[in-house]
Structures are given as C-alpha cells and as structure tokens.
Amino acid sequence: MKSYSQFIDEALLPSLIKAAARQFVKSKALQKAIPKVGKEVTKTVKLPSKVTGFQTARGSKYTYKPQTKSWPQTQRTAAKDPYHPTAPGVKQKSDYTMFTTPDASMTMRQRFVSGSKEPFYQGLPQSTKPKVGRAPVEVWNRYAEKSGKQAIHPGSPITDIQTATPGSGVGLYGAQRKEIKDRVKAALQKSANKEQLKKELGIKPIEDSKPSTTYRNVGVGRRESVKEQRSFLMFITEARRRMRVLRTAHYTTASNKNEIMRGGFKDSPSTGTYHPDDRKGIVYTTPSSRVGSDYGYSRVNLRLVNPKVTSTDSPRDFGKNIKSWMSSASDEDINDKKGKPTSAVDQARSAFKKGDKVVRVPNAHGGFTPREGQAQGSYVMMDKETANKSIDKTPSRTMRAKGKERRTKTQPKKDT
C-alpha cells in the first residue's frame, strides 16, 4: 500500500485535494459563521465524477465507455478464477454492453445459447449504466475467441464502481477512495500537517468583529468567506500546475510488443535520426496514432508524470530558417557558417549528449515537405530507463468519434 505522502505527491487528485482543503477551511471561527442546521444537512462537498469502470464479484475488472446515441462499450480484464473456463487477461472490447439483474443475465444467456428466435433481451430489464448489484452482459457481433461468431458474456454482479473526477484522468474504485480519505483524515490529526497546509492555503482565522467580511452561499445552511474561497482556488490551480502527464506510445509489431511488456525496452541494433550513433538505448515514441501506424499496429503506451522535456525546432521551421539565413547572410558568413541555424536533428542529438532524458521534435514526421495526406505529428524520444519506468500497462481506452459502425439487427435500440 502507498503511504499518505505518496498519494499526495503522485496522484494529486482534485477530489483528494478538495477533501483535504475543506477540512482546513473549517476553522473554529468559520464554524461559528455557519448557521445551526439540522443533522440532515451535510458539510461535505460532493464532487462531480464520471464512471470509468467497475469490478465484479469474481474479481474481473471492466473499462466503461458510454456512447452518445448507442449502448456503452466495455472491455474486460478477466481475473484468474479456477472455477471459470475463461483464461485470465484482457478480452476483446464489446460491440455493446447492457446492464441488468443477475437473474435476467442468466435468462439472456439461456435464450442466446438455445437459439431463440426472439431477441435474447426482449422483455427483460436493461440499463446503460453500471451499478453495484447489476450484472453486465457484453455482446459481440464477431468474437475472436468464438471463431468470429456472435457471442455474449453475462458477467458476475458488480461489487465496486470506478470513477474519475473530470480533469484528473485517474480512475479510482470506491475502496481506493475510502482508503485515501481515511489516510487524509488520519494525517489531519497531526497539528504540524494542519499548520503547514493552512500556510500553503493562505487561510487566516475569521474575526467576528470585522463586519466587512463577506460570505457567499455554498449550499443549504453553509457559507464561506470570499477571502478563503480565493485561497482555495489558488491551491487547486497550483496542484494542477504541479501535475502534468505526458501520454505517448511506441509502435511496433505484436511480437515485439509482447517482449517489451514482459522485459522492457532493450538497446536497438539500428541507429536513429535524432540521437547520437553511440546511444543505442533511445526509444522513439509519438503521441499521434496516425503517425505511429506508419511504424506498426501494436502500441506500447507510456505515461510520464511531470516529465522534464527538451523541445527542439521542427524540421519545417528549420527549413524556413535556413532559407532566410541563406538569403540574408554574406558569402563570408556562409563560408564560415556564421549564424547558421541549428537543425532539429543536431538540437536533439546535442540534448541527449548533455544528458537530457526526454526530447521532443515537433512536426517531425514527413520532414521538410510532407506528402499530401501524410500524417503529421511529433516524435518524443527518451532513454530506455525512462521508457521502462513509464510503461502504462493499464491504459485508458481511446474512443473514436468518427467511423462508428451502424447498429446491427441484434443490437437493441437505446432506451430514451
């Protein structure tokens, strides 16, 4: 289990930050400013969140992606279960998934297996949203493990929901959130922690003798000072500034991806354009899937938290700069190469020689003059040690907004 300080430093989740900050804002003076209300009024702040996944009774975990005008899609990571014939691991993403009662899910399975002429879901409860106690029913029009045939999978009842606060990008299950809150609550008992965070938040006690202090309503029976609200927003802004995540990917073959996921990146036998020839342990990645597809269809996702990135000029900018220099420099300057712009290649190689770990070359794909219709994007190179520490083995799924398949005859219409 991670310590409280590790949760703060590594996650910096807005929900965790707000939970901690609110506790300190509730000074004794502020408590006096809050009118006495009934027990039914809570003093906690309910944060907006979205469902990103769920876990079922047998330990399988699912990602959850809602669709705007269709049923949601899920992807299961099956847990190791001696009583289940399915091998553990990541399964094929469903074409659509519905949620129903455990009994209804078994009825759907029986109808599907028996080859009933009526739709297997007809007359049974269906929902687009996961909820504790409901059972997921995944449907595939062509399922690879069933030789490309149509298939369904009724899952076990849901026992926990994974949610993420907008802007954080980090999904947590209920049990994880409870552990974080408990650790925060325990840490708040220490006066040293209180005073330190009060200092960081800029919170000062409210003096009742100052009639000029203004308050704004934050809920039924609750008020807080405008002065403290400004400090709180400054705290959130600072936290988000400290938490920067770079997501990129290395594209390769399926066999190479499996080797990398098992043993990490190794030294490359070939040289690369943007790193010195003697540096074999440089990994090339790109945040652009279109650029990456030119190199391979299997991607190794990397997630770098607060990386120190050295950016170079783009090859196209260098092309413009060199033309401008050639037209304005004297013959003597050209012969002596005085004031000659440095290419993106030389800038990147120099950065690695200086010991930089991550180097980005913007708009590198395609060189000076990319072909018409060619994918355009950046390269992000890093040493293999950094790459191996940043491999994301449980990446969030990417939703495609365009090119969605039409609803098939077996897929029910979404309830309105």
- What does each of the 416 residues of the chain score in pLDDT, given as a tens digit? 455 444 444 444 445 555 555 544 444 434 444 444 333 333 444 455 789 999 999 889 999 999 878 899 999 998 887 766 678 889 999 999 999 999 999 999 999 999 888 899 999 999 999 999 999 999 999 988 888 899 999 999 999 999 887 666 677 888 877 777 777 777 667 777 667 666 655 555 444 444 444 444 444 444 444 444 445 556 666 666 666 788 999 999 999 999 999 899 988 766 678 787 777 889 999 998 888 888 888 999 998 888 889 999 888 888 888 888 888 888 888 888 888 888 888 898 899 889 999 999 988 887 666 667 667 788 999 999 999 999 988 776 655 555 555 555 555 655 54
Question: In the prediction, which pLDDT does 242 show?
Answer: 64
Question: In the prediction, which pLDDT does 403 show?
Answer: 58
Question: In the prediction, which pLDDT does 288 show?
Answer: 87
Question: In the prediction, which pLDDT does 160 show?
Answer: 93
Question: In the prediction, which pLDDT does 394 show?
Answer: 78
* Predicted TM-score of the model (pTM): 0.42
Question: In the prediction, which pLDDT does 147 show?
Answer: 86
Long-range residue pairs from 183-192, CB within 8 A, at least 24 positions apart, any chain:
183/3, 183/4, 183/7, 184/4, 184/16, 184/19, 184/20, 184/23, 185/23, 186/4, 187/4, 188/20, 188/23, 188/24
99 touches 127 (CB < 8 A): yes
Question: In the prediction, which pLDDT does 402 show?
Answer: 55
